[in-house]
Amino acid sequence: MNKPHGLPPSISRITSIAAAAFAALLLALVQPLAASAAPAAAAEGSLFNLAQLVELAKAHHAGLGAARQQVRSAEAGVVTAGALPNPEIEILSGSQRARAIGTGEGSTRSLSITQRLDLPGLRTARIDAARSGLVAEQSQLRATERELVRVLRLHYYDLLRRQAEWDAAEQDLVTSTQIHERVSVRVKSGEAARYDIIKADAELLNAQKQVQGARLRVAQARASLRRAVGAPLPSQFDVLPDTDPLPDLQHLERLQQEALASNPELARDRALVQRARQQVTLERNARLPSFALRAGFDQDPEARGARVGVIVSVPLWDRRAGPIADASAQLARTELEQQQREFSLRQSLEAASHQYAISHNQIAALESGILRQAEAALRIAEAAYRFGERGILDYLDAQRVYRNARNELIAARYDLRAAQAEIERLYRP
């Protein structure tokens, strides 16, 4: 510290001691504030791994909750299908007046009870159709859950990808800044041409633009992940990288066979086909005569009477041709949709398996050879430019090759995880 001019050494020493005391006092006041602000910042931002995000989505996502309510509705439909018809009670009361000699006068009463019979053929078909509908809704719930997990995983891996691109862009900005400073020194000293600083300026501006774009893409990916989770997340949250090892894929034919047996969407289509068949049976059985038991009691001033009988509904005019044709058409439609689902499942699983293999091979090639060679070429070009053996264009070209290889590796890792998520949606052991 420079001593003030014109002051004795004792006063200068006292000034130094006062300045040191003031700095210590200021540090003592700032440290508690910083310590109290650190927990608040830690509480505002939170870290989540993939399993935690999936659990939050299963517990709070509105779409999944709606699918659960649809299952409850189907369960209520089974109860409704098994309910017996209620009896019908008719009570009549009136008066009787005589219009002929010898006829009694007074009040009259009538009571009748009618009970429709639930025939076994109609009842069984109706209950089986409702149960098939319940199985279809349960399968739809599993399909909705798998699709939710797939979309969530895609957004999760997309956020990791955008964060990796942001880190890479910041590294490129640091490198571009160093290049710009180095080129500026060489241009000012006359060792390089004016053209080099123009290229360095362009590279620096491009690196700054890439950092800004990468930062915005990270914010966009974070918002998309929050929307996919469907649960209240902190305003500033971060995710932990996925450490689960990549599974080994089985043979494609075996994978397709097991997927046909375990895919929930295909199970839903099969249940809908079964329900359509039961509906056809129900409409055909509805052509048969229906029966109802009826008992009655009548009372007038002169007599009392009781009667028991059977009511038969004869299907003479309405043979239910329209409902039977409609149910048959719905059955044909659901069978065709099931066939299309099986074909689409096979093709989607094949495409996802091929994408998984392609991405895996790209990652292996980039990590083992291409990226290392591009990095080595960059170091050689940097050394050559530093010693004046190469121009700045050669160095920038080598750096651009390295950036492209690094970005391809980041994209290939995302494509690999996306293919894995699609395979697990279509097939899960």
φ, ψ dihedrals at 218, nearest 5°: -65, -45
Place of tokens 């700054």: 208
Query: Is 61 in contact with 229 (CB distance < 8 Å)?
Result: yes
What does the pLDDT look like over 385-423, one tens digit per residue? 776 677 777 778 888 888 889 889 999 999 998 998 888
Is 183 a residue whose pLDDT tops 50?
Answer: yes
Q: Model's pTM, two decimal places?
A: 0.77
| pLDDT, position 343 | 93
| pLDDT, position 295 | 93
For residue 204 the two structure tokens come to 């620096």
Provide mean pLDDT across the span 167-174. Answer: 90
What does the pLDDT look like over 334-382, one tens digit per residue? 999 999 999 999 999 899 989 988 988 888 888 888 888 888 888 888 7
Query: Is 276 in contact with 330 (CB distance < 8 Å)?
Result: yes
Segments making up each domain of the chain, as ranges: 46-95+106-426
What does the pLDDT look like over 297-338, one tens digit per residue? 988 877 888 999 999 988 888 888 999 999 999 999 999 999
Is 27 a residue whose pLDDT tops 70?
Answer: no
| pLDDT, position 381 | 82
Query: Is 131 in contact with 271 (CB distance < 8 Å)?
Result: no
What does the pLDDT look like over 394-404, one tens digit per residue? 778 888 888 88
What does the pLDDT look like over 251-268, one tens digit per residue? 888 888 888 888 899 999
Determine the number of helices (DSSP H) and then strands (DSSP E) in the chain. Answer: 10, 6
Place of tokens 């659990």: 55
How many residues are listed for the chain in this entry? 429
Query: Is 161 in contact with 411 (CB distance < 8 Å)?
Result: yes
Give me the CATH code for the 46-95+106-426 domain, please. 1.20.1600.10
| pLDDT, position 129 | 94
